[in-house]
Amino acid sequence: MFTGIVEELGRVLNVEREETGARLTVGCSGVLQDAALGASIAVNGTCVTAVQLSSDCFSADLAPETLKRTNLGDLRLGAPVNLERPLRANSRLDGHFVLGHVDGTAEIVALDALGNDNWWLRIRVPEQLTRYIVSKGSLAVDGISLTVAEVEGDLVSFTVIPHTYEHTTLHAYRAGSRVNIEVDILAKHLEKLVSRS
């Protein structure tokens, strides 16, 4: 489980295609401080397992389902990626509960400057996921815990503060970029409970 508070920007060192998926290698340092073989690391909000570790990078195997459901298969050499270690039981929960189980991808419609280094982000989400997204709720966008400012049909908007813009992949994206999204797991559980009654 994660929080959606990005700890580090990593860089893609390699994406090696295989018959059944791919192997992703990411250059980084901070998230490796206490990592062990088999550790979970969120890459753009996708929980992956470190299958190789060194002092400045890790590799993870990407299953066909991961490549189909996320933007990890789109990554190119040198691309920045958001990284986060899993939440410890004795840690503060600064963002929201993020499982690293991506529900789908969304398209960036616009990222407009608001002034004072603040930004207005608009994304188009898959229609089947809109029912889980509410104004002032949380949505993980490429692993970043963001507060929803507006929902208009399949368009979801957020205000992005300077720190988030500078320290995440958001500064590298343009209109048309694909981002991973994970809706609030509590909304999905509530829907299932209510549908049973």
In the chain, the domains with their CATH numbers are 8-84 (2.40.30.20), 104-196 (2.40.30.20)
What pTM was estimated for this model as a whole? 0.94
> Mind listing the pLDDT tens digit for each residue in 37-88?
999 999 999 999 999 999 999 999 999 999 999 999 999 999 999 999 998 8
Start-end of H helices in 24-161: 64-69
> Mind listing the pLDDT tens digit for each residue in 126-178?
999 999 999 999 999 999 999 999 999 999 999 999 999 999 999 999 999 99
> Mind listing the pLDDT tens digit for each residue in 114-124?
999 999 999 99
CA 8 to CA 101: how far, in whole Å? Answer: 19
Q: Is the pLDDT confidence value at 16 over 80?
A: yes
Query: Active site residue: 22, 28, 39, 47, which one?
Result: 47
180 within 8 A of 145, measured Cβ to Cβ: no
Residue 77's CB is within 10 A of a number of other CB atoms, namely 10
pLDDT of amino acid 84 = 97
Q: Is 147 a catalytic residue?
A: yes
Query: Active site residue: 147, 172, 175, 189, which one?
Result: 147
Kindly list the distances between the CA atom of residue 151 and the CA atoms of 72, 124, 132, 172, 183, in Å, as whole numbers in the listed order: 26, 10, 11, 24, 14
Position 197 confidence tier, pLDDT thresholds 50, 70, 90: low
Residues sharing a CB contact under 8 Å with residue 103, sequence separation 6 or more, in sequence order = 69, 126, 129, 181, 182, 183
Q: Is 96 a catalytic residue?
A: no
pLDDT of amino acid 183 = 96
Q: Is 101 a catalytic residue?
A: yes
Q: Is the pLDDT confidence value at 185 over 90?
A: no
Query: Active site residue: 29, 63, 175, 189, which one?
Result: 63
